[in-house]
Amino acid sequence: MLDIAQVELVEADWNYVKLTVGRDVYLTRSTLQQAEKSLQSQPILRISRSCIVNISFVREVSRTPRGDFILVLAGGTTSTSSEGFRDTVGEYLDHLKIKST
C-alpha cells in the first residue's frame, strides 16, 4: 500500500500505471483514469494524455523551444507536457503564481 500523498508522478504504461514515489517506481494494473480518481484529493495536474503530476512535488519548471513545459519533481524525475496540454498547464501554473503573490 502506498500513501497517495507521496505519489509524485503517474504515467500510463500499456495495461499498467507507473506510480513514482521519490526515486522508486511501482507498477499497478490500473488505468490512468482510475488513478486520477484515486488522487483527486491531491493537487494534481494532467500534463499529457498519459501523465499526471502531483503539483506539490514540482521543484522546477522550464520550457522547451516549442513551448512545452518541463517539470522537475522532488525525486529528480523530469516530465514534459504535451502540445495538446500546453495551454492548460500554462494557465494552471500562471494561476499558481498569481495565487502565491
Q: Are strands 51-54 and 44-48 parallel, antiparallel or unpaired?
A: antiparallel
pLDDT of residue 99: 61
pLDDT of residue 76: 96
Which sequence spans correspond to the domains of the chain? Answer: 4-100
* Bridge partners of residue 80, in order along the sequence: 70
pLDDT of residue 24: 96
| CB atoms near residue 4 (< 10 Å) | 17
CA–CA separation, 79 and 71 (whole Å): 5
**pTM of the complete model:** 0.90
pLDDT of residue 1: 79
Instruction: Please report the sign of the dihedral spanned by the C-alpha atoms of residue 58, residue 63, residue 50, residue 79.
Output: negative
Look up residue 40 and give its three cell numbers: 483527486
Tens place of pLDDT per residue across the chain (101 aa): 789 999 999 999 999 999 999 999 999 999 999 999 999 999 999 999 999 999 999 999 999 999 999 999 999 999 999 999 999 999 999 988 766 54
CATH class (in words) of the domain with range 4-100: mainly beta
Helix, strand or coil for residue 7?
Answer: coil
pLDDT of residue 101: 44
Residue among 38, 41, 86, 37 at smallest CA distance from 61? 86
